[in-house]
Structure 1
Amino acid sequence: MALNPERSYGARTGAEARADIDQGLRSYMLKVYNYMASGVALTGIVAMLSNPQSSFGLLAPIFYAEVAPDVFQANLLLWVSMFAAIGMVFFMSFRIGKMSPATAQAVFWGYAALNGVWMSGLFLTYTDMSITRVFFIAAGAFAGLSLWGYTTKRDLTAMGSFLMIGLIGLIIAMVVNIFLQSPMMMFVISAAGVLIFAGLTAYDTQKIKDMYIEGEHEGTASKKAIMGALALYLDFINLFIMLLHLFGERR
Structure 2
Amino acid sequence: MPRPSYLPEFPGSMASVATHELVRKTYALLAATLVVTAVAAMFGMSMAFPYQHPFILMILAFGVLFAILFTGAKQGPLALPLVFVFTGLMGLSLGPMLAVTLQLSNGPLIVAESAIGTAAIFGGLSLYAWISKRDFSFMGGFLFVGLIIVILAGIANFFLQMPALQLTVASAALFIFSGYTLVDTSRLVRGGETNPIFITVSLYLDVLNIFLSLLQILSFLQGRRR
TM range (shorter): 0.7 to 0.9
Per the alignment, residue 164 of structure 1 pairs with 144
Alpha-carbon distance in 2 for matches of 1:180, 1:51: 26
Per the alignment, residue 195 of structure 1 pairs with 175
1:122 has 2:97 as partner: yes
2:78 counterpart (103, 118, 129):
103
Are 1:89 and 1:111, in contact at CA under 8 Å, matched by a contact in 2? yes
Per the alignment, residue 75 of structure 1 pairs with 52
Change (3 A) 1:191 1:140: same
Are 2:122 and 2:178, in contact at CA under 8 Å, matched by a contact in 1? yes
Q: How many residues align?
A: 205
1:84 has 2:60 as partner: yes
Are 2:173 and 2:210, in contact at CA under 8 Å, matched by a contact in 1? yes
Per the alignment, residue 212 of structure 2 pairs with 241
Greater alpha carbon shift after TM alignment, 26-35 vs 124-133: 124-133
Distance apart, 1:39 and its partner CA: 0.6
Distance apart, 1:189 and its partner CA: 0.8
Are 1:40 and 1:112, in contact at CA under 8 Å, matched by a contact in 2? yes
Alpha-carbon distance in 1 for matches of 2:139, 2:163: 29
Question: SS of 1:155's equivalent?
Answer: coil
Distance apart, 1:99 and its partner CA: 4.2
- Amino acid paired to 1:226: I
Change (3 A) 1:108 1:250: farther
Per the alignment, residue 135 of structure 2 pairs with 155
Are 1:79 and 1:118, in contact at CA under 8 Å, matched by a contact in 2? no
Distance apart, 1:154 and its partner CA: 3.1
Distance apart, 1:130 and its partner CA: 1.5
**C-alpha RMSD of the superposition:** 2.1
Per the alignment, residue 34 of structure 2 pairs with 40
Question: SS of 1:230's equivalent?
Answer: helix
Question: SS of 1:50's equivalent?
Answer: helix
- Amino acid paired to 2:207: F
Are 1:125 and 1:250, in contact at CA under 8 Å, matched by a contact in 2? no
Bigger relative contact order (CA 8 A; separation at least 6): 2
Which structure is larger by alpha-carbon Rg, 1 or 2? 1
Identity level (%): 28
- Amino acid paired to 1:207: R
Alpha-carbon distance in 2 for matches of 1:250, 1:146: 33
Alpha-carbon distance in 1 for matches of 2:224, 2:145: 31
Change (3 A) 1:231 1:250: farther
TM-score, reference length from structure 1:
0.75
Are 1:147 and 1:202, in contact at CA under 8 Å, matched by a contact in 2? no
- Amino acid paired to 1:47: A
Alpha-carbon distance in 1 for matches of 2:74, 2:136: 29
1:134 counterpart (89, 114, 117):
114
Displacement over 3 Å in runs of 4+: none
TM-score, reference length from structure 2:
0.83
Alpha-carbon distance in 2 for matches of 1:134, 1:140: 10
- Amino acid paired to 2:210: L
Distance apart, 1:250 and its partner CA: 5.8
